[in-house]
Structure 1
């Protein structure tokens, strides 16, 4: 396991917390398939599921921010765009090399530290703002 869900920072909007929890579950499944030496097809399926989840995660947040005219939308979206670019590069490298260590290193050293920081900063502010408009 890469991370226990209980270690995730919480924000003021439950729907965002649920999305983060689901993302960690998917990320843990991908990570486990790599460290346990699963076949390339299984790792590929898990990687594609992770990529799709990240895109859906970012898209849903961005829709809420746009709908309620969140003041820091461009900055928040900019962080998402940077990570999406990194994931696109990782996907291209994965398709060429099929080297699970590339994915493992990225999620350990880049994605997870970024996600934790992003939740504690950008998402915390965003969720606080949106909690004035959204009840869930």
Structure 2
């Protein structure tokens, strides 16, 4: 298991925590399959990757839509980070589709995605969650620390 969803860091906005938990469960399912067999069903893997990619896309759109609706000041940098991560994921999944090299996927989930999502939750998502929970209080706090 890559992620213990019971021990994952939580952000101050519960809807984001639910989306993160769903995504980490999908990653766990994929990783569990990749590490539990040597006789891979590549069509099954591709379906799992497709579900993961759609969830990641929807996760990012969900956050970005809420940030846009509330005029969150870090929308631009947060959205750019999402685009960067999606690009890496799509490139790697495309490489897998061409080569059927499962080691690429293991590496992606163990090192690329795992370290990225854990750090992203602790940084950008923590700030975004605090803002979405109470934009006025967040902006007052930000102003107080600036001046």
User: In which range does the TM-score fall when normalised by the shorter chain?
Assistant: over 0.9
Q: Which runs of 4+ in 1 moved over 3 A?
A: none
Match of 2:46 in 1: 44
Cα distance in 1 for residues equivalent to 2:74 and 2:9 = 20
Match of 2:9 in 1: 9
TM-score by length of 2: 0.87
Aligned counterpart for 1:58 among listed residues 60, 63, 69: 60
RMSD: 1.0
SS at match of 1:76: helix
Match of 2:35 in 1: 35
Cα distance in 2 for residues equivalent to 1:79 and 1:71 = 14
Larger-Rg structure: 2
Cα distance in 1 for residues equivalent to 2:48 and 2:102 = 11
- Stretches of structure 2 that go unaligned for 5 or more consecutive residues are 136-147
TM-score by length of 1: 0.94
Aligned length: 133
State whether structure 2 residue 14 is matched by structure 1 residue 20.
Answer: no
Greater length-normalized contact order (CA 8 Å, ≥ 6 residues apart): 1
State whether structure 2 residue 139 is matched by structure 1 residue 114.
Answer: no
